[in-house]
Amino acid sequence: MNLDALWQTHRRFLIGVAIGLVVFFILRMISGATWKGDLSSAQRKTITARRALSGQHVNVSEVTRARNLLVGLVEQSKSLAAQCLPPLPPEFQPAVGQSPSKHYIQFTGRRRSELIGQASLRNMQLDESLGLPAVSPTQPPIIERVMRGLWVVDQMVQLAIGWDATEVDDIRINTRVRSRGKSGMAAVEVTEVDLEVVMEQELLNRFLKSVVSHQPNLGLAAFEVLPLDKKGLRHVTFKFAAGALPQSNQNEEL
């Protein structure tokens, strides 16, 4: 059979094969170009990432220095907190194993009698409630807040007695807990204390200096000197914010 006869007989088949070969080579060229392009792109991204990582590398000495700096800042914050938020004296806290409510009742009763007696000896009128709640608290957190406020009252009454004040009145210890916001954690637990001191005009400046410079810090928030009354005495209202770090913050470690 000659080529012409072969062509005539199998023409459709041969045309199909030829078209298939053309399509095959075209697809191969396209796929090869795409693969090479993807490979080049991946290589470029790898090089870029490697350069970025090499520029952000932190060595061991830098990590150590950062940790030492953090430790120093924590210690400094504790020192500042101790100055601004002094811990309660031991007598204002229950002994180990002692019931907080039992200690509260015993201590407040004893301290009330002592302060009333001292004020009476110096002819000073004293709000005998000392700002304590009418009903003794039973929950340890509330007891602690009241005791923190009582410590401020105790110190102020003793200062007033020492400076021959004529009266300490309108004492209030606020046990209400402020809203803690979305975080649920307050930066500082605060007990607000309000009271009024009445004394002679000539003693006032030195008394105020003793309050402001008192150590440990009383947490004085504000005071207002009112006009002379009919007896020629000065009335001074005080606001205190007795603070403490929340227990979770005090126990926080690196």
Could you read off the pLDDT of 16-46 as tens digits, one per residue? Answer: 655 555 545 555 554 555 555 555 676 676 7
pLDDT in tens, 127-163: 999 999 999 999 999 999 999 999 999 999 999 999 9
d(CA 42, CA 56) in angstroms, rounded, equals: 21
CATH class of 88-250: alpha beta
Q: Which residues contact 125 (CB under 8 A, 6 or more apart)?
A: 119, 166, 167, 168, 169
- The structure tokens listed for 210 are 């003793």
Q: Is the pLDDT of residue 69 over 60?
A: yes
Q: Is the pLDDT of residue 232 over 50?
A: yes
- Return the higher-pLDDT residue of 82 and 208: 208
Instruction: Please tell me the number of Cα atoms within 13 Å of 226 on its side-chain side.
Output: 13
Task: Supply angle C-alpha 135, 97, 105, rounded to 5.
Answer: 20
Q: Coil, strand or helix: which one is 175? A: coil
Considering the entire predicted model, what is its pTM?
0.66
Q: Is the pLDDT of residue 254 over 50?
A: no
Q: Is the pLDDT of residue 86 over 90?
A: no
Q: What is the pLDDT of residue 202?
A: 96
Q: What is the pLDDT of residue 62?
A: 73
Q: What is the pLDDT of residue 20?
A: 57
Q: Is the pLDDT of residue 231 over 70?
A: yes
Q: What is the mean pLDDT of residues 47-57?
A: 64
pLDDT in tens, 159-198: 999 999 999 999 999 987 665 555 555 556 789 999 999 9
